[in-house]
Structure 1
Amino acid sequence: MKTILAKDTLNINSQDYSLLTDLYQLTMIACYAGEGIATKRASFELFTRHLPQDFGYLIAMGLTQVLEYLEAFSFNSEQIQLLKDTGIFAHAPKAFWQLLSGGFTGDVWAVPEGTAVFANEPILRIEAQLWQAQLVETYLLNTINYQTIVATKAARIRDVAGKQATILEFGTRRAFSPQGSLWAARAALAAGLDGTSNVLAALKLGEKPRGTMAHALVMAIEAIAGSEDEAFKAFQNYFPDATLLIDTFDTVAAAQRLQAQRDAGEISVRGVRIDSGNLAELSQKVRHYLPETKIFASGDLDEWEISKLQQQGASLDGYGIGTKLVTGVPVNGVYKLVEIDTIATMKQSSHKLTYPGCKQIFRKVTDGHISSDRLGLKDEIPDDEQGLLEIVMQSGKRLQSSESLDTIRQRTASSVASLPAKVRQISQPLAFEVDISDALESLQYEVAGRNNK
């Protein structure tokens, strides 16, 4: 086995995704196969028990990648042989290997990407043969959890910065992996940011990459030509609309010289970026010299820092957001069995109680604002409410094409705008109370009684 894998790198492609799972998913499936229950119909729901601290809501994201994964899901003969070569499955039944040769044939219910959700509300539900629904857990949690936290951070940043600010995603070098950087860029754009510096992500998403310049260029040309101004002029020779990075040496002095050169017609100054120092104070001074120029700030910014800058009277037109966007607090989403062979199930562990049965989120919106959310069973009748979970895949086939980023952006903006102001605030947000239906409470009581016999 070591000889085979030594030839491979740790880079992955879509053909590897079937193996991108936790071992216990496979060992459980082997057990299911041996016990003759692997093909029983099962339902699992993905949700979070608690929101991250100081978060009043989450923006669901990552469904597109989930559906792409499920469509392509399969084990080829080489992958099956690699599993056999581990020796771990020496006692697994033949039925286990036969199962792995098949693809995903189940149904997926999900809230649309860009939708605001709260604790205990399922973001998606998988209804499939038990082995299929079990095996996909790891990948689903990976992409939904990560894209959801990035999208939520981006939505909060947009909400605090305002509609007019230009906000760019600069997080590729800080993301947890190259794959993560692509997902982070997508989630940020879908949640309302204006662009990303990640060239691959932008081009794959049909967007134009956005960026400025780095200190290295300024230092290199200044060292050779003897002037920071020569660096600005050289860069603009090739990129005349470029935003110039002006804090390599002395931010205010650079702004003064740019004003003089602009007034003399030697250079145009469409935008400048400040990446260090007292951003509020420096932006005010730069604005004095370059009143018509767009001023951007970067450097470990997030919604909290942007709020502080606003309170300090910063004169800024936009922000570059990196580290704190793509490495934020985690969404501890979980994926739990809620029904097997039409039998409702629930977890009763201390502090980890789950609600049984296949559920629906019934949302009531009044005058564009969420007035109530009710968590109930999927077959309950809506009471002037909208069911948020929609069927998006049936028998392993997608029911609609992927939505555009613009569509998801608009939904995100509408979702955030529909929330109560106290739920949107970034400091001690008010928890949105989700009602539990009588039918769901009754089922919970019934299943708890069954489990405690």
Structure 2
Amino acid sequence: MEFDIVGPEAIRDGRATDAYFDRTETTLRHAERNPHVVAEITADQFPDGEYELLAGVKDVAALLEGRNVDVDAIPSGRLFDGGPVMRIEGDYLEFARLETSILGFLSHASGVATTALDVRRAAPDSLVLSFGARHVHPSIAAMIERSALIAGLDGFSHVAGGEVLGRDAGGTMPHALVICFGRGKQEAAWQAFDEAVGEDVPRVALCDTYSDETDEALRAATALGDRLDSVRLDTTGSRRGDFRHIVKEVRWTLDAHGREDVDVFVSGGLGPENLRALRDVADGFGVGGYVSNADPVDFALDLVEVDGELAAKRGKLTGAKSVYRTPDGGHHVGLRGRDGPEGGEPLLEPLLRDGEVVDGVELGIDAAAERAARDAERCAYGAE
């Protein structure tokens, strides 16, 4: 039996589409009608003060490459708030049936990147890793991890996702490993792990499987000695009580026994509020469902010009637009060709010309992450 996965060929060929685009293409070809259009992709028409982080641009560029279109886009890793994040110009049938995939690429990745930025800003000085791939269909794991990295998270757990991205996945041990050695034999599990894995793997002992977190943390420090890098607390919610107190108690106990060198890493059902509450007592976090289960951004693609004439459906703004970052970190939307705000930075940049990626366009993860960090500071994203 095959997995229920729509493959890359179907996406590139335009078969990963909504049926009404099939009908539209059939109708327009029958009518010998294929106008030159300007299409814009937007979530909100006007700024409302709620920034979101753009991701997915690389995949859209890959899909539209080789097609006779010009594309301008806000680069991945920049914050947006109203107006277009992407503009496509060309004959409509050149890209009409690709709309479903284009919106999917941008909507889902931007939603994940935005929630990842939430947790990044909640603990800006802590190690934060993406642990959420287990909550989504495995075919999109690389998108989850890429979006998390764009937002500034420090790493991720999914092996195949890392292979796609050219990055190494991280991780140590699950409760299942400890349980396989039996109750009361946690030391045997920690020591076997230390003996088995490569020297490049951090020695992080999971310390909440059978016993009190403080007890297991001290036992792990004794069993592994100076080889222990961190302990991880992944305590089930029903057993946590005052989790901040538990983390502080573990830290105190390790310090009291001369193990200030051992970090405390926390995971399990965490979100921004948890990170803000624990960032001064924990050294790092693994965040799962809050990031991976993000709601997609509700992007839409609308025609705003047809054969040089202004056009838009009711409720949408007609005409091609420009968007700007204002000197105070705000967001401004205006008609293309009109003067922008004084000192405003245009956000839409050339992405494709005649179906070819423009020279100098940087679609990599590191460049996007740098943009996200700069924009978050400039726009005071997540400021308390």
TM-score when normalising by structure 2: 0.89
1:122 aligns with 2:96: no
Q: Distance in 1 between matches of 2:283 and 2:164?
A: 27
Aligned-residue CA RMSD (Å)? 2.2
| Equivalence for 1:207 | 167
| Equivalence for 2:307 | 341
Q: Any unmatched runs of 5+ in structure 2?
A: 255-259
1:41 aligns with 2:72: no
Q: 2:282 aligns with which of 316, 325, 329?
A: 316
| Equivalence for 1:301 | 270
| Equivalence for 2:351 | 392
- Residue correspondence of structure 1 range 38-187 to structure 2 within 5 A: 38=34, 40-49=35-44, 56-71=50-65, 104-119=67-82, 121-162=83-124, 164-175=125-136, 177-187=137-147
The answer to whether the 8 Å contact 1:44/1:133 transfers is no
| Equivalence for 1:26 | 22
1:9 deviation in Å? 5.0
Q: Distance in 2 between matches of 1:364 and 1:11?
A: 42
Q: Distance in 2 between matches of 1:217 and 1:347?
A: 57
- In 2 relative to 1, CA 34–45 (structure 1 residues): closer, same or farther, beyond 3 Å? same
TM-score when normalising by structure 1: 0.76
| Equivalence for 1:449 | none
Q: Distance in 2 between matches of 1:292 and 1:19?
A: 55
The answer to whether the 8 Å contact 1:148/1:187 transfers is yes
Q: Match for 1:16: what amino acid?
A: A
Q: Any unmatched runs of 5+ in structure 1?
A: 1-6, 72-102, 427-453
- In 2 relative to 1, CA 130–403 (structure 1 residues): closer, same or farther, beyond 3 Å? closer
Write out per-residue CA displacement over residues 388-428 of structure 1, whole angstroms, 9 at most, x where no aligned residue: 101110111111354321111111000000014xx5348xx
Q: Distance in 2 between matches of 1:303 and 1:232?
A: 30
Write out per-residue CA displacement over residues 154-212 of structure 1, whole angstroms, 9 at most, x where no aligned residue: 112111111x211111111102x223221111000111001111112223222221112
Using CA pairs below 8 Å that are at least 6 residues apart, which structure has the higher relative contact order?
Answer: 2
- Residue correspondence of structure 1 range 303-452 to structure 2 within 5 A: 303-310=272-279, 315-348=281-314, 353-365=315-327, 369-370=328-329, 372-382=330-340, 383-400=342-359, 402-420=362-380, 424-425=382-383
Q: Distance in 2 between matches of 1:303 and 1:181?
A: 22
Percent identity (aligned): 26
| Equivalence for 2:251 | 287
Q: Distance in 2 between matches of 1:354 and 1:133?
A: 21
The answer to whether the 8 Å contact 1:259/1:289 transfers is no
- In 2 relative to 1, CA 399–323 (structure 1 residues): closer, same or farther, beyond 3 Å? same
The answer to whether the 8 Å contact 1:63/1:113 transfers is yes
The answer to whether the 8 Å contact 1:42/1:133 transfers is no
The answer to whether the 8 Å contact 2:268/2:287 transfers is yes
| Equivalence for 1:248 | 209
Asked which structure has the greater CA Rg, the reply is 1
